[in-house]
Amino acid sequence: MRKIIITIVAAIFACAAFAETPEQIQKGSILIETQFTDMNLKLTNGVVFGFHATGGYFIIDKLAGLASIGLDAMSGSTRFSFSLGGRYYPLKLGPGTLFGDLSFGLSTQSGGDSSLTIFGVETRAGYALFLNRNVSVEPLMYLQIPFKKNVGGVALGFGAAISIYL
């Protein structure tokens, strides 16, 4: 079973290495993204709805540096966040491409009498479905992990974004 999985993963990366890079994700392009929904499945905080804005620059083909700000509303509290990271588009599938993000960020959560600052890492995976040369719709899922135990907890969630490529 292990050999089969390794073979499949190697085949995917081999296809990705020789696939033509769409012009939207080539060196020098700019990415502007708005994540307009955010459903956090962390049971302690319930459902989270948020708005995140991300800007990026493709430093090489398929790899963009990112900066992001966000505002999330949870039951009884709000969270403001800022993060820096990168996004890689390894594989073109049909009219879009798969992507993966890794970012490090700082967030401040406040509500009631308390305030909490959290530093952590977030990873996201999704599919950028290109509607035309400059616009994509991106369903995605994410995993947030704080660096300090007992602060915020690990969160798994789903979201959707609209991106503009210039």
> What are 29-78's pLDDT values in tens digits?
999 999 876 666 654 555 567 889 999 999 999 999 999 999 888 777 78
pLDDT of residue 57: 96
CATH number for position 124: 2.40.160.20
Question: Cβ atoms within 10 A of the Cβ of 46, count?
Answer: 11
Q: Is residue 18 pLDDT above 50, yes or no?
A: no
Q: Residue 66's closest CA among 84, 50, 46, 91?
A: 84
Tell me how many domains the chain contains.
Answer: 1
Segment among 7-16, 35-44, 143-152, 157-166 with least mean pLDDT: 7-16
CB neighbour list of residue 119: distance below 8 Å, 6 or more residues apart: 104, 105, 106, 146, 147, 148
Looking up tokens 């960020």, which residue turns up? 105
Segments forming the whole domain that contains residue 45: 2-165
pLDDT of residue 145: 85
Question: Cβ atoms within 10 A of the Cβ of 155, count?
Answer: 19
- H or E segment to which residue 6 belongs: helix 2-18
Q: Is residue 103 pLDDT above 50, yes or no?
A: yes
